[in-house]
Amino acid sequence: MDTLDPPDDKPLDNRRRRLVFRAQHRGTYENDLLIGDFVKARIAGMTESELDEIEEVMEFPDAELADWLTGRKPIPPHADTPMLRRIRTAALSRQ
């Protein structure tokens, strides 16, 4: 089984495969886990608009994302989106 395929073994389309790879290879181990695990677990069922939202979240710098996702700093208004809040909720539930 390819490690980028979801648990139900249905192959992902190219966009989803790229997003999983990008989410799991952020540059910092902390974000690789927090964002990568979130994306991998949900990618197969995401809509196109949710994929757009994930791509937008991944444009933020790693240091800022790590602070927001762990709750070290609040998410600022310019970055506060439903998707980022979903990822933060999942990240905080890991602790």
Q: Is the pLDDT of residue 2 over 50?
A: no
Query: What is the reported pLDDT for 10?
Result: 62
* pLDDT digit string, tens, across residues 9-28: 567 899 999 999 999 999 89
For residue 1, what pLDDT band results from cuts at 50, 70 and 90? Answer: very low
Q: Is residue 7's pLDDT more than 70? A: no
Distances (CA, A) of 34 to 9, 10, 11, 13, 61: 22, 23, 23, 22, 14
Domains in the chain: ranges and CATH: 14-93 (1.10.150.250)
List pLDDT tens digits, range 27-51: 899 999 999 999 999 999 999 999 9
